[in-house]
Structure 1
Amino acid sequence: MWFKNLHLYRLPKPWNITAAELEAQLDRHALQACGASDAQSTGWVPPRTGAPLLHSVNRQHLLALGIEQKLLPTSVVKQFADDRAREIADAEGRKVGRKEMREIREEMRLQLLPRAFVRRRTTWGWIDPVNGWLAVDAGAAGKAEEFVEQLRKSLDKLPAKPLRVVRSPSAAMTGWLADGDAPAGFTLDQDLELRSPEQARVRYVKHALEGAEIRQHIAGGKTATKLAMTWNDRISFVLTEDLQLKRLAFLDLLKEESEQQSDDADERFDLDFALMSGEVARLLDDLVEALGGEVAAD
């Protein structure tokens, strides 16, 4: 279980909630299959088939949000509605108006929903009540917000807030590039995006970032919006101006530790999650420090 993206939220440190309490509350909101007239259904699913809704290892919790969606393209609804409108026009000798056409489309949508294919997707989340983290593995902000919104609905209380740091990631990344020096424990890699005040963008992929060209862009007013970095030769990622970590890659040294310790699938799953959560918690501590620390709570 290795996350690929991190949308970060702060919890109280420590957050005094037990695994049993979390699981009992999630159970009330388990995923139910889409009914005949449902376009979508959302709820919690087991992180492993046949397992509980909450997977816990060393007070670290893994959970998965399942979303079932009916696949009913607008073009298909329109085709059936147009056919129905022509039948009415031929039978009654009149033209179907706009309001009636909207009603026909809605009628066709409801008729077609029971016959639509169902697609399921899963969004993963990690709760670290010891160090006060909630992280969602989602490539898009909307999916992360969907996860957190469902978690708020499911739990009696979720004291989660977006992570706030003293120094903005954009300012920090721009400073590191201008100085040619990464913060302690990190190295700067070879992917970068810069943006001007006029929204012009320059992207570098697998390109050395130490040259004068980068500094000239910065001197001209461009700021960094994405920067590839590696932490302690163990995890590489892309830091964004919105304080998201994308394209996480747990380097071979870290994965080898799991492979050497177990060949059993269940034990391996637990080891992978324990290694990932432990390493990411340490990475986040160092990253927050590199960004000047957290903004004091109001």
Structure 2
Amino acid sequence: MFKNAIIYRLPAPWAITAEDLSRYLAPQAFTPLGGLDMQCMGWMRPREDGMLVHQVNRQFLLRLQIEKKILPSSVINQVTRERAKELEEQQGFPPGRKQTKELKEQITDELLPRAFTRLSGMWIWIDPVNGWLVADSSTPAKAEDALKLLFKAVPKFPLEPVRTVMHPGAAMTDWLASDEAPDSFTVDQDTELRSTAESKATVRYVRHTLEANQIRQHIETGKQCTRLALTWADKISFTLADNLSIKKIALLDVLKEDVGAIGKNEDERFDGNFLLFSGEMSKLLADLIAAVGGEVMNRSAETTPC
């Protein structure tokens, strides 16, 4: 269901119900853009006939909807230049900086109601049993949009970043240097190594066999792994980044067979797919955190969290 995973920590277990969370989110329900608004976002029901929080076996699924108007600056500038020429002819001299700025703002307001809009969304999975919140976002910055709404909506929202004993980049570099993946994982054929020096020299392998000797040479010259393709338990392949974000999540054949056998109607398949995904991903995340040395539970710990 998710292609990406930005991972956060919640208390385990987190004593909140889907009904209570839906009630907190209700004031932030998605409303389509107004005439002069550039962007809006809010929560949508994952299923049309359900609540804002869809629950399957104590696993929660949320859907953030984002609507943005597409009004290129080149169009605004072009119309502004045309209007400025007309204004110059009328008043006998070109408009000054302040007048041009006001003209540009006026034109933006005129064009906004006619601008095209683009809809996008983000899935949020909350596992209150094992204490995970995962955003299907390609970057942490985009995930922050959803988190800001949650912090505003939920009283004392107990979310924290994941802090690990080893920095993920250092851990991945160790795996490559030793040519040995941690338990339950295998190393695939994509990786990126970047120099820690000012040059930031970077080497990328894409669908290429990772020769241990070549990789060690790069590491010995001061490069560290920033991205590594992995497979977990022969079930899920993904790419791990040095900020602990996950991309290119893909179910492998053994799980695809399970997906194909789920449910007879759309609702059953949706719930079954979500239950399968959340169950396997919870195990994957636990193994991944163990592979980077476990979590730093006390911020005053001597180890440096990522």
TM-score (norm 2): 0.94
Q: Does 1:189 align with 2:194?
A: no
Query: Residue in 2 aligned with 1:111?
Result: 110
Listed as ranges, the matches of 1:1-298 within 5 Å are: 2-197=1-196, 198-298=199-299
1:15 is displaced (CA, Å) by: 0.9
State percent identity of aligned pairs: 49
Structure 1 stretch 19-28 or stretch 147-156: which is displaced more? 147-156
| Structure 1 residue runs without a partner (length 5+) | none
Q: Distance in 2 between matches of 1:38 and 1:173?
A: 44
Name the aligned partner's letter for residue 179 of structure 1: S
Q: 2:177–2:212: 8 Å Cα contact kept in structure 1?
A: no
Name the aligned partner's letter for residue 150 of structure 2: L
Q: 1:194–1:225: 8 Å Cα contact kept in structure 2?
A: yes
Large movers: runs of 4+ above 2 Å: 48-52
Q: Distance in 1 between matches of 2:52 and 2:124?
A: 12
Q: Distance in 2 between matches of 1:51 and 1:255?
A: 27
Deviation string 1:54-79 (CA, Å, 9 cap, x unpaired) is: 11101100001111111111111112
Q: Distance in 1 between matches of 2:85 and 2:35?
A: 27
Q: Distance in 2 between matches of 1:80 and 1:38?
A: 20
Q: 2:262–2:273: 8 Å Cα contact kept in structure 1?
A: no
How many pairs are equivalent? 297
Q: Distance in 1 between matches of 2:130 and 2:188?
A: 28
Q: Distance in 1 between matches of 2:295 and 2:58?
A: 24
Q: Distance in 1 between matches of 2:180 and 2:233?
A: 15
1:116 is displaced (CA, Å) by: 1.1
Q: Distance in 1 between matches of 2:287 and 2:139?
A: 24
Q: Distance in 2 between matches of 1:262 and 1:8?
A: 29
| Structure 2 residue runs without a partner (length 5+) | 300-306
1:50 is displaced (CA, Å) by: 4.1
Name the aligned partner's letter for residue 234 of structure 1: K
Deviation string 1:134-183 (CA, Å, 9 cap, x unpaired) is: 00001122211111112212222321111110001111111111111000
Alignment root-mean-square deviation, CA: 1.1
